[in-house]
Structure 1
Amino acid sequence: MPLLLLTALLLGSGATLAGTASADGTGGGSFVATGSMTQPRYFQTATPLHSGKVLVVGGLGGNAESAELYDPATGTFTASGPMTTPRDTHTATRFNDGKVLVAGGNSNGEDGELASAELYDPAAATFTATGSMSVAREFRTATTLRSGKVLVAGGDNTTGALASAEVYNPKTGTFTTTGSMADARSVHTATLLADGTVLVTGGGFGNTFLASAEVYNPRTGKFGPTGSMSTALAGQTATLLRNGRVLINGGGNLTEITASAELYVRGCGERRCPSN
């Protein structure tokens, strides 16, 4: 993974290079210290559970098989797990029944991409293996669909960036392939829209960065084209707003790390797109 793309990914994961603001634009709010994790972590995941606790899984910097729970009532972390496979740059997706799907990632640096997946059961505080993806993927996206299934799209492995996608069915514990994206992409975003479709934006691999976007339709199992972003980016964030628009902000490419932002409006042609 090139250093610049890694920097872009850091932006997408929440690292801040300059500037802060609150949701109302006042700049209010503050940070206060809380308990530390049981070990250092980098490229880990953090998933809210139904109990209110937060499941922190894997990552570089320590034992990549390990997991821990943050309890907001006590402000402390306690060990949980461990996973069946050490991993970082994975995804962690919670289901309605409270279990968490941990999929893909990397276990050994270069050429260590994973196809395996596992489930965390909060009642037992244990991980168990589940069906594997069709190919190894790191820096892919995992998006919960209205059906309760999970769409896994893109990412990269030793062959380069991936255009393929697959869907995990929690009832059968298996992944099945679905339609591929028009563009191979890694370090992109995937956002569930109000109509049940999934917006995929940007991404990149090596020296290639994408401005293109596409929309996945779960009913047809296919991706279709939509408007492009104004700038080719990887590592940006994409947040669904209450009005149904998607806020795209941050990210980077070969020439810049950007402070810019733009809005995506579903079904909006170039002539009708609002400016704000």
Structure 2
Amino acid sequence: MTPRERVTLRAVAEDPQDSVMRFAWDADVGTLEEDAKDTATTSEIVWTAPPCLEPGDDASFTLTVSNALDLAVIARFSATGLPPCPTWTQVSAMSRGRAGATATLLASGKVLVAGGREGASGTASLATVELYDPETGLWAATGSLAAARTLHTATLLPSGKVLVAGGANGTTVLASAELYDPVAGTWTSAGNLTAARAYATATPLPSGKVLVAGGSDLDIKATLATAQLYDPATNTWTATGNMLGGRSVHAAVLLASGKVLVVGGLGNSGVLYPTELYDPATGTWTATGTLSSYRVAVEATLLHTGSVLVTSDNSAQAELYDPATGLWSRTARMVTGSQFHRATLLPSGQVLVTGGQAVNGDAPLARAEIYDPPTGTWAATTPLRRARIFHTATLLPSGKVLVTGGDNGTTPLSVAEVFSMP
């Protein structure tokens, strides 16, 4: 069998006294249709295979055939070929719960988790920083940020250092930026943005510079159209062209062409459908295709094909951007619509989506699902061990995915878990 394959199971039985046969089907996994097609001597039923087998499960069947005297015979058989299910493994917890943090994969293979917010209400910003070592599955403290912050950006530079910019400290939105040196384990100043901002995007460019675009205050009422470039060679910021409109809680993706696609989010007048492109060669922005659905707290993933997959909102409708035409098209609907989830490109080219919530105020989700670009379809996979929003998801060198922190709806989480494909 293959995952989710539908097959018709057929049985034939005869009784020496020509009694009418009664058939009862049972399957350990998958789905049997409720109504079998029975005659006096035959039975047919449709079984749908599961996508995978959980540890200890077997795709086995039991058929019980009985006659008018209630004499019965039992036949057992099984299906082969179904893969084992992906697994989530809980690893050691961080030293404290944190939501709205950033996670950056370092050149060493370790993961740097910086800042975030903690406390019962999740409003106390953090300056503490931790390192996860995939080899040991353990966390270790490293140098603290100069300013506690959450809802900031974090970008790995060609030098191996990490640039953190903006965000918020409590109710104060920040303009400051800092650099982390993984060799020394310390932070130094990286200057200031021209305007304080949270919910911005930071995109590393082929030149080695970093484009920081948009953002807003904490209430997402005063959105920014301004964009700036950070130059690691001089440790300075310079203004570049403004976006066509203010935008916050959006996503940005570096395309194969070297241009940056900005999509979704909120503007001063509400949700945004238009998308735009930044050209590093000219420092200008131009309009490109328009989304069919609004996207807030959007996730945008560059696929191996060069297209961009966008997911977000409770409609569950996913869309694809074609850089060659500048147009958006709908792909299959997600299994579960949500916002504030995380999307991670897997080595297979598939995209793993984790967590989120249906709408603001709803309980966080433990759901996980996978998008398969060749077929354009979504499929549910093994759910997270803990429901969460505002978490991080980082692809490790091993191909596994580390999910950290987030919020369970009332309290920031310290627990972390790792996703493994079979």
Q: In structure 1, what residue type is equivalent to 2:309? A: L
Give the distance between the partners of 1:87 and 1:214, measured in 2 at CA: 28
Verify: 1:162 aligned to 2:267, yes or no.
no
Greater alpha carbon shift after TM alignment, 96-105 vs 109-118: 109-118
Distance 1:229 1:162, change over 3 A: same
Distance 1:240 1:112, change over 3 A: same
Q: TM-score, normalised by structure 2?
A: 0.57
Verify: 1:259 aligned to 2:366, yes or no.
yes
Per-residue CA deviations over 1:29-87 (Å, capped at 9, x if unaligned) read 01101010011111111100011100010111167111110000010001111112211
Cross-structure match for 2:348:
243
Give the distance between the partners of 1:99 and 1:252, measured in 2 at CA: 34
Cross-structure match for 1:39:
147
Q: In structure 1, what residue type is equivalent to 2:352? A: L
Verify: 1:213 aligned to 2:318, yes or no.
yes
Give the distance between the partners of 2:316 and 2:146, measured in 1 at CA: 39
Verify: 1:75 aligned to 2:185, yes or no.
yes
Verify: 1:173 aligned to 2:283, yes or no.
yes
Radius of gyration: which is bigger?
Answer: 2
Give the distance between the partners of 1:50 and 1:130, measured in 2 at CA: 21
Paired residue secondary structure (1:179):
strand
Q: In structure 1, what residue type is equivalent to 2:147? A: Q
How far 1:107 moved relative to its partner?
4.3
Cross-structure match for 1:29:
137
How far 1:225 moved relative to its partner?
0.7
Distance 1:274 1:38, change over 3 A: closer
| Higher share in strand | 2
Cross-structure match for 1:225:
330
| RMSD (Å), alpha carbons | 2.6
Q: In structure 1, what residue type is equivalent to 2:141? A: A
How far 1:126 moved relative to its partner?
0.5
- Consecutive unaligned residues of structure 2, counting only runs of 5 or more, are 1-98, 104-115, 119-131, 382-420
Paired residue secondary structure (1:33):
strand
Instruction: Answer yes or no: is the 8 Å Cα contact 2:368–2:380 preserved in 1.
Output: no
Give the distance between the partners of 1:164 and 1:235, measured in 2 at CA: 20
Give the distance between the partners of 2:315 and 2:282, measured in 1 at CA: 35
Match of 2:375 among 250, 254, 268: 268
Give the distance between the partners of 1:232 and 1:12, measured in 2 at CA: 23
Give the distance between the partners of 1:141 and 1:12, measured in 2 at CA: 16
Q: TM-score, normalised by structure 1?
A: 0.85
Cross-structure match for 1:143:
253
Per-residue CA deviations over 1:96-135 (Å, capped at 9, x if unaligned) read 1110000000147452110110000011101010001111
- Consecutive unaligned residues of structure 1, counting only runs of 5 or more, are 1-9, 204-208
Per-residue CA deviations over 1:230-263 (Å, capped at 9, x if unaligned) read 1110011111111111001111124431111011
